[in-house]
Amino acid sequence: MSPASPGPSSHAGPPPDAAPSAGATATTTPPPAAVDPAARREERRWTPPKIALWVGISLVGALGWLMLALARGEAVNAIWFVFAAVATYLVAYRFYAKFIQDKLVRPDDTRATPAETSYDGKDYVPTDRRILFGHHFAAIAGAGPLVGPVLAAQMGYLPGTIWIIVGVILAGAVQDFLVLVISMRRHGRSLGQMARDELGIVGGIAAFIATLTIMLIIVAILAMVVVNSLGESAWGVYSVGLTIPIAVFMGIYLRYLRPGKVFEVSMIGVVLLLAAIVSGRWVAESDWGQAIFHLDRPVLAAAIIVYGFLAAVLPVWVLLAPRDYLSTFMKIGTIVMLAAAIVLVRPQIDTPAISEFASRTDGPVFTGALFPFLFVTIACGALSGFHAMIASGTTPKLVEKESQTRMIGYGGMLMESFVAIMALVAAVSIDRGIYFAMNSSAAATGGTVEGAAQFVNSLGLMGVNLDPATLEETAKQVGEESIVSRTGGAPTLAVGLAGIMHRLIGGPGMMAFWYHFAIMFEALFILTSVDAGTRVARFMLSDALGGINQRFRDHSWRLGAWLTTAIMVAGWGSILMMGVLDPLGGINTLFPLFGIANQLLAAIALSICLVVFARKGRRRSLLVIAVPLLFTAVVTITGSFQKIFSADPKVGYWANHMAYRDALAAGKTELGLAKTAEDMQAVVFNTAVQGSLSILFVVCTIIVLIVSLWRTLQALRGVNLLDTEAPYVESEYFAPSGMVPTASEKELGGQWKSYLAEHPEKDLAGGGH
Amino acid sequence: MSGAALVAALREVRRLARGVLGSDAYDLYLHHHRITGCTHPPLTEREFWRAKYAEQDANPGARCC
């Protein structure tokens, strides 16, 4: 069935005013808002060249997968990752996403989208689908897909690659696509509002608490990634620190000098940014530079906390908006550049497909078995619940045509998945010994090259014999004092990226530049996420407090804004500080919590989709939602239960908590990686916090799951069928569905062009302005 | 590629880039103002961006991880 044809259960609406053949009269009455279904069917017919094309794509993909899976004991070329991923994405987009569109979503292009019905020139504007794709992608992709795959590389490249690609096709992209669709049909309602509408008060409150705490934990852990990559790095602190004055300069430029010249100021900003990176070497090599910018992690964490508070209470024009422009610019630029570099350089990958740690639970990078912990370590890139907050909200208010949601929602997420694949390639392209030396906690390596080499060699990894001199040499190449125990993923990615990029541009002398370039752009994304996240969390809190004291509802009440911001910053700041000071190495213990939190949010989003589509009368096609929902529920609930109940102190927070408490009670002053009684007390406290958060998340999610299951079963029996969709309004607007318009879309577009020439008042998008 | 086609292609790239970055917000506003037949004069570019950032202050949007 074509996307243009109204599905049986969707509102059929009155027939279009003009038949497609009535070209002569099309100037007085608007042409149809959708391509004639018969013409579209004709276009979709399989022809031999088309069949050959798709057979070809499938064969390329299959070859890619074969090369990745069968490369035993020999190097595999990175280009096979690209072939396997891209071909699989294309097939999934063409066949599976199309299937979802036809059977489950059934978009109706004769139906006006919120951008058309509520057109206001600001929040609701029909936006060119290619622009919206870029917009949406820039909003969903951040540091997450760059970090998770790096940590997951501990288990070899194959488990991560399979999960990123299969996960995105069956889960992540489905979630993004469907949330976009249901929000678009509800006038761009937010996930929280839809949770209340569809799940009722109990489900709504559980979803609210889960969302708010998940947001805090995500901000805290992202901030920790920044702290870990900048700790004891004068170059990094200097160049990332300079982004603040650069952004403020851009803000002033836009407000007072040349308002609205966003592109221009972004170019200036990027040049300044590059200058900041280049001059960093000189600053880091100077004595004064070392004295000012060489900071310990706790100091940096405190600085980020103060920064987070200020950034969230300052007006957006000062810091947030300009840095957002920079971040968008860098994001798209760097990703395109990295893709080109991987294709052109085609690095050899020596990491085994499946490493020794795939079948163990005591990996130094993250603990726990492959199932479920690989699936939570890689959240963004495969399945990220946080996207549901973006897919409901801004994007649905800008969509021109319902049938474009496949390209924007599903396609946008495929793109993010590709970013995750590139991050994985960059991480596995570096020497495995260096990888483990960088990603094992300082408690394990002692923070020295000798300690790191000794530790890594003691892991008994095949083909790994790390020499302390190699670590020193690599650190020197990237312009850092040391790369030992630079955990958190970002530095590893930066080393990988530097290794690939310098072969394309600049040679070995440029490695240090590329390393700091990578650190800079990750920090840029994360700082944007930190203050945007703090702002959103603050608003959620003040809306909730508004129930107690009306004044909190007024967001312009300064004292209230400061108070709620302070509470939220204290929330993520304390988790951050705890992670930074954690004797067991913070990121290793906290990162699973990040993945679990993010995917629990995905479970909530998918639950809401399940209820919505069950209430719309879908039956068998609900499996499209139920299968990934079940999978993510099993993964996250198993993960949470292991974190809560596992008797293995390496995995279970509470087991670890008890082990340290008992040891303290027995008068010991040293246990495992904690070398003093104080450290042991810190472990006791941290594990209690982490354990409690795990319990909170999983309880909220189980409530949401139960409520949604119950509502779905009700809907299947035909009971309690709420219809929360906005009423059908007939569209008087046309735009193509996919990236490239088809012949019939071009023809109809032509009719619209001549119609709009005579009726400029109907031309909402400004006719290719 | 002929000169005119090249100019058209570059113009299209510029339009898409401005759109992704959000640089075209004032143009969109003016367009809205024009076609909806508002009688009051439109905001100036400076006023418009001030109002836009003030609105962003009041309605924050999340950025993803």
pLDDT digits (tens, 9 = 90+) for A421-433: 999 999 999 999 9
Count of C-beta atoms within a 10 Å radius of residue A252: 14
Structural domain range at position B50? 23-57
Q: Is residue B18 assigned to a domain?
A: no
User: What is the Cα A426 distance to its own chain's centre?
Assistant: 18
* Residue contact B64–A390, C-beta within 8 A: yes
Chain A nearest-CA residue for B64: A140
* Residue contact A315–B53, C-beta within 8 A: yes
Q: What angle do CA A722, A723, A727 make, to 5 degrees?
A: 160
Chain B nearest-CA residue for A529: B63
A vs B, Cβ pairs < 8 A, gives 145
Chain B nearest-CA residue for A265: B23
Count of C-beta atoms within a 10 Å radius of residue A619: 9
Identify which of B33, B20, B10 has the alpha carbon closest to the alpha carbon of residue A128: B20
Instruction: Tell me, yes or no, if B10 comes closer than 8 A to chain A by beta carbon.
Output: no
* Residue contact A127–B19, C-beta within 8 A: yes
* Residue contact A139–B45, C-beta within 8 A: no
Size (chain A), residues: 769
The answer on pLDDT for A477 being more than 90 is yes
Q: How far apart are CA A174 and CA A603, in angstroms?
A: 12
Chain B residues near residue A391 by CB distance under 8 angstroms: none
Tokens of A560: 């209230």
Low-confidence residues of chain B, pLDDT below 70?
Answer: 1
Chain B nearest-CA residue for A538: B60
Q: How far is B65 from chain A (nearest CA, A)?
A: 5
Residue A674 main-chain phi, psi, to 5 deg: -85, 120
Distances (CA, A) of A158 to A85, A115, A616: 12, 42, 39
pLDDT value at position A1?
A: 35
Cβ atoms A216, A537 nearer than 8 A:
yes
Radius of gyration, alpha carbons of chain B:
16
Q: How far apart are CA A224 and CA A579, in angstroms?
A: 7
* Residue contact A263–B21, C-beta within 8 A: yes
Q: What angle do CA A455, A458, A462 make, to 5 degrees?
A: 120
In this prediction, residue A191 has a pLDDT band, given cuts at 50, 70 and 90, of very high
pLDDT value at position A554?
A: 82
The answer on pLDDT for A174 being more than 60 is yes
What tens digit of pLDDT does each residue of A250-271 get?
Answer: 999 999 999 999 999 999 999 9
Q: What angle do CA A87, A89, A92 make, to 5 degrees?
A: 110
In this prediction, residue A602 has a pLDDT band, given cuts at 50, 70 and 90, of very high
pLDDT value at position B58?
A: 84
Cβ atoms A61, A91 nearer than 8 A:
yes
Q: Is the peptide bond before A372 cis (omega within 30 degrees of 0)?
A: yes
Chain A residues near residue B18 by CB distance under 8 angstroms: 262-263
Q: How far is B43 from chain A (nearest CA, A)?
A: 12
Count of C-beta atoms within a 10 Å radius of residue A758: 10
Q: How far is A714 from chain B (nearest CA, A)?
A: 33
Tokens of B61: 């949007």
Chain A nearest-CA residue for B31: A766
Instruction: Tell me, yes or no, if B33 comes closer than 8 A to chain A by beta carbon.
Output: yes
Instruction: Tell me, yes or no, if B48 comes closer than 8 A to chain A by beta carbon.
Output: yes
Q: Supply the angle between the helices A234-252 and A191-230 in degrees, to the nearest 10.
A: 130
Chain A residues near residue B42 by CB distance under 8 angstroms: none
Query: At A77, is the secondary structure helix, strand, or coil?
Result: strand
Partners of A77 in the β-ladder: A348
Instruction: Tell me, yes or no, if B49 comes closer than 8 A to chain A by beta carbon.
Output: yes
Instruction: Tell me, yes or no, if B55 comes closer than 8 A to chain A by beta carbon.
Output: yes
Instruction: Tell me, yes or no, if B27 comes closer than 8 A to chain A by beta carbon.
Output: yes
Cβ atoms A729, A715 nearer than 8 A:
no
* Residue contact B64–A255, C-beta within 8 A: no
pLDDT value at position A297?
A: 93
Chain A nearest-CA residue for B34: A761
What tens digit of pLDDT does each residue of A5-47 get?
Answer: 443 444 444 444 444 444 444 457 899 999 999 998 898 899 9
Count of C-beta atoms within a 10 Å radius of residue A648: 13
* Residue contact B64–A254, C-beta within 8 A: no
* Residue contact B53–A316, C-beta within 8 A: yes
* Residue contact A556–B22, C-beta within 8 A: no
Query: At A674, is the secondary structure helix, strand, or coil?
Result: strand
Distances (CA, A) of A550 to A553, A566, A567: 6, 19, 18
Tokens of A552: 């909190």
In this prediction, residue A359 has a pLDDT band, given cuts at 50, 70 and 90, of very high
Q: Is residue B32 assigned to a domain?
A: yes
pLDDT value at position A24?
A: 45
Interface test with B, best of A123, A125, A137, A540 (most B CBs within 10 A): A125
Count of C-beta atoms within a 10 Å radius of residue A428: 29
Instruction: Tell me, yes or no, if B5 comes closer than 8 A to chain A by beta carbon.
Output: no
Tokens of A711: 């509502």
* Residue contact A316–B57, C-beta within 8 A: yes
Q: How far is B5 from chain A (nearest CA, A)?
A: 16
Q: How far is A532 from chain B (nearest CA, A)?
A: 5
Distances (CA, A) of A679 to A80, A475, A574: 46, 29, 17
* Residue contact B35–A764, C-beta within 8 A: yes
Quick one: A50 exposed, middle or buried, by C-beta within 10 A (0-12, 13-18, 19+)?
exposed
Residue A733 main-chain phi, psi, to 5 deg: -160, 150
Count of C-beta atoms within a 10 Å radius of residue A680: 22
* Residue contact A128–B45, C-beta within 8 A: no
Task: Report the share of chain A in percent with pLDDT over 70.
Answer: 96
Chain A residues near residue B16 by CB distance under 8 angstroms: 128, 130-131, 134
Among A135, A144, A386, beta carbon nearest to B20: A135
Among A139, A763, A766, beta carbon nearest to B64: A139
pLDDT value at position A5?
A: 41
- What does pLDDT average to over chain A? 91
Cβ atoms A380, A386 nearer than 8 A:
yes
Work out how many domains chain B is built from and give that number: 1
Partners of A215 in the β-ladder: none
Q: How far apart are CA A489 and CA A151, in angstroms?
A: 6
Among A134, A222, A764, beta carbon nearest to B20: A134
* Residue contact B20–A390, C-beta within 8 A: no
* Residue contact B20–A536, C-beta within 8 A: no
Q: For residues A617-638, give the mean pLDDT.
A: 96
In this prediction, residue A547 has a pLDDT band, given cuts at 50, 70 and 90, of confident
* Residue contact A121–B32, C-beta within 8 A: yes
Q: Supply the angle between the helices A412-428 and A490-504 in degrees, to the nearest 10.
A: 80
Chain B residues near residue A261 by CB distance under 8 angstroms: 23
* Residue contact A142–B31, C-beta within 8 A: no
Per-residue burial over A527-558, b if 16 or more Cβ lie within 10 Å, else e, is bbbbbbbbbbbbbbbbeebeeeeeebeebeee
Q: What angle do CA A691, A360, A355 make, to 5 degrees?
A: 125
* Residue contact A532–B52, C-beta within 8 A: no
Q: Is residue B3 assigned to a domain?
A: no
* Residue contact A142–B19, C-beta within 8 A: no
Instruction: Tell me, yes or no, if B58 comes closer than 8 A to chain A by beta carbon.
Output: yes
Chain B nearest-CA residue for A328: B21
Among B23, B28, B63, beta carbon nearest to A263: B23
Among B29, B45, B53, beta carbon nearest to A317: B53
In this prediction, residue A549 has a pLDDT band, given cuts at 50, 70 and 90, of confident
* Position A492, amino acid: T
